[in-house]
């Protein structure tokens, strides 16, 4: 399961397939990470610096974060894509095809002026979260998305928990 949590400054990514529940995040930032709450991550409860330190202590890599850079990412179901915007300017997209039971991500791109800011990951995670919430299988021919998906499968085979 892939989830994205955002506040006005940071974006937190959580991949449950990599998580092996060391509880370091809960110990480091209990206001943010509370397994008894749904959703268990709330990025509005603690200071960004505390959350960032907690995420950095995650031994499995299930948690990661980046700055928002005032970029919004939205799902565009009608056009089979997720889109990144800097104000009103479209600066990135992740495109997929759908056959009704699954989706295939075939392209992820970000304007070169915005590369290196975690936007591509946000675009792919937005589609992965959408697919999981709608119980759709996911595949990818896009090399970036394929690597994210394969990293999850590899981790699952070598001890990660779902």
Q: Where are the domains of the chain?
A: 2-67, 71-157
* Kind plus residue range of the DSSP H or E element containing 137: strand 137-140
- Mean pLDDT of the chain, nearest integer: 91
- Is 95 in a helix, a strand, or coil? strand
Q: Is the pLDDT of residue 119 over 50?
A: yes
What are 75-86's pLDDT values in tens digits?
A: 999 999 999 999
Q: Is the pLDDT of residue 117 over 60?
A: yes
Query: Helix, strand, coil proportions of the chain in percent (round to 5)?
Result: 30, 35, 35
More confident residue, 12 or 158: 12
Distance CA 95, CA 162 (A): 26
Domain 2-67, CATH number (from 1.10.10.60, 2.40.30.10, 3.30.70.20, 3.30.110.40): 3.30.70.20
Which pLDDT belongs to residue 153?
60
Which pLDDT belongs to residue 100?
83
What are 6-55's pLDDT values in tens digits?
A: 999 999 999 998 898 878 999 999 999 999 999 999 999 999 999 999 99
More confident residue, 23 or 96: 96
Rounded to two decimals, the pTM is 0.84
Q: What tokens does 101 get?
A: 């039971």
Q: Is the pLDDT of residue 59 over 90?
A: yes
Instruction: Give the helix ranges, DSSP H, for 21-134.
Output: 24-28, 48-56, 119-133
Mean pLDDT confidence for 120-143: 95
Mean pLDDT confidence for 141-154: 85
Residue 58 · residue 25 · CB < 8 Å:
yes
Domain 71-157, CATH number (from 3.40.50.1110, 3.40.50.1820, 3.40.630.30, 2.60.40.10): 3.40.630.30
The band of 150, judged by pLDDT with boundaries at 50, 70 and 90, is confident
């Amino acid at each position: 399961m892939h989830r994205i949590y955002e506040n006005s400054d940071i974006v937190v990514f959580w991949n449950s397939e990599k998580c092996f529940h060391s509880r370091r995040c809960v110990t480091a930032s209990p206001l943010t990470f509370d397994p008894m709450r749904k959703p268990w991550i709330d990025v509005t409860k603690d200071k960004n610096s505390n959350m960032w330190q907690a995420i950095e202590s995650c031994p499995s890599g299930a948690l990661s974060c980046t700055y928002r850079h005032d970029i919004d990412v939205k799902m565009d179901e009608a056009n089979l894509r997720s889109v990144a915007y800097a104000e009103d300017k479209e600066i990135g997209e992740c495109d997929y095809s759908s056959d009704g039971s699954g989706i295939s991500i075939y392209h992820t791109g970000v304007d070169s002026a915005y590369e290196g800011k975690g936007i591509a990951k946000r675009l792919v995670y937005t589609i992965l979260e959408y697919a999981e919430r709608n119980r759709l299988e996911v595949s990818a021919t896009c090399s970036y998305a394929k690597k994210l998906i394969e990293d999850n499968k590899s981790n699952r085979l070598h001890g990660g928990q779902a």
